[in-house]
Amino acid sequence: MRKNNLLIFIITVFLMNLASSMTIPVYPYLVLSLGIEMKVYGIIGTLTSLVNIALRLPFSTLIPVIGYFKSFALGISLLALSRIFFILTAMGVYTMLMFTIGYFLSSTRFSLVMTSRSSIMARLSPKTRRGLALGSIASIGTIASSIGPFIGSFIYESTGKSFIPVFLASALISLIVLVLLTPLMLNDLKGEGKEVEDFTTSFKSILKVLRYEKLRISLIVFMIDAFSWSLTFMYASIYLAQVIGATSMDLATLSFLSSIVGVFGFTLAGYASDKFKNRKIFLFISELFGIVYFLIYILARDLEPFYIASIMMGFVMSFWGPISTAYITERGEEISKDLIPIALGVRGFLTGLARAPGGMIGGFLYDISPILLFETALTLITFSSLLILFFVKE
């Protein structure tokens, strides 16, 4: 890839993260404005996950066929569309229907963007420096994610706590990203091997991934971890807004703390894991930070300790995100380089399958007691950390 094209891709990653993160501090208030029980919200999340699961594997097998940048652009398009439906939700137009569609599109775009972005970086980086490459692109995105919430909160507060301008700004930036991606889509990356000759051949490659023992065992462990985190994913910020009393600016600040740790942590952790040539110890450390994070949610009763929790979450993301992705791409590359996106897609499919019931179960637990929800997650994360330490193989 020419340097100019790489620069364009970096800019699009930055702007995409800026657009998506702008809505973070106002989204919990949009959910609360619906006046629904958390179990209903959780059911929406679970049904959305089930549909995403059906789409994820076919998409990952087609990335080398239709093009890596076109696949990335598809995810950005879904981001822009989701914001339109959230605007219609805020306007009171078939509120629950528009919200459900918006939630589905936003959730779907995340998996498409992450799979295609990781596949692009894996194609462009040597195996010996893949953790650093994936960490660096994650850091760039995280810089944007540290700024976006403050912009979103400022727009929200300065427009009389209106959701519409925030989601509109997010949609417009997403459209700018699509325009910038045009030259990359015209000169797209595609697969090189026989695995991408047609859809049937690509789909059969999934079996190659699942037959590889290192990948198969690791994917099972990753599924358990994904379920553990999925219990609270939809409810942490809602808990802060509803129970702790956090404002939109408080939520932006908490998001900033996580992001600023990630800015440095993604690259440094990726570099360190390349240097020490051991990914799983970093994944284990990530879980230890997660244990501290959930302990704070269980014990804290005012806002201040959650600043520490947000820093812990920054370390969780830094030690997990690019390193777990590097681990999967390396195991996939041990089979075939063209199987990297398929290996990532299989991980996305299986972890998505594991996450699917998490939203619904988490909603029921939250309605019983938010603290019970976080205690359950803490127990599972502790168990998951031990599985990583003893069963994941390099």
The answer for residues whose C-beta is within 8 angstroms of residue 174's C-beta and 6 or more apart is: 16, 19, 76, 77, 79, 80, 83
Which of the 8 DSSP states describes residue 197?
S
Using alpha carbons, list the distances in angstroms from residue 87 to 92, 102, 235. 9, 9, 21
Q: Choose among 259, 286, 355: nearest CA to 17.
A: 259
Q: What is the Cβ-side half-sphere exposure of residue 158, based on CA atoms within 13 angstroms?
A: 8
* Contact yes or no for 116/72 (Cβ under 8 A): yes
CA distance 22 to 29: 14
The residue assigned the tokens 């129970």 is 243
Q: Choose among 332, 68, 66, 72: nearest CA to 199.
A: 66
Digitized pLDDT (tens) for each residue of the chain, 394 residues in all: 556 777 888 899 999 999 999 999 999 999 999 999 999 999 999 999 888 877 766 777 777 778 889 989 999 999 999 999 999 999 999 999 999 999 999 988 877 887 788 778 777 777 667 677 777 888 888 899 999 999 999 999 999 999 999 999 999 999 999 999 999 998 887 665 544 445 566 667 777 888 788 888 999 999 999 999 999 999 999 999 999 999 999 999 999 999 899 878 877 887 787 777 778 899 999 999 999 999 999 999 999 999 999 999 999 998 897 789 888 888 888 887 777 778 887 888 889 899 999 999 999 999 999 999 999 999 999 999 999 999 888 7
pTM for this entry: 0.85
Phi-psi region of 300 (alpha: psi -120 to 50; beta: other; left: phi over 0): beta
| Domain 3-185+205-391 annotated CATH 2.30.29.30 | no
* Contact yes or no for 210/217 (Cβ under 8 A): no
Q: Would you call 117 helix, strand, or coil by DSSP?
A: helix
Q: pLDDT value at position 12?
A: 95
Q: pLDDT value at position 194?
A: 47
Q: pLDDT value at position 2?
A: 57
Q: pLDDT value at position 327?
A: 86
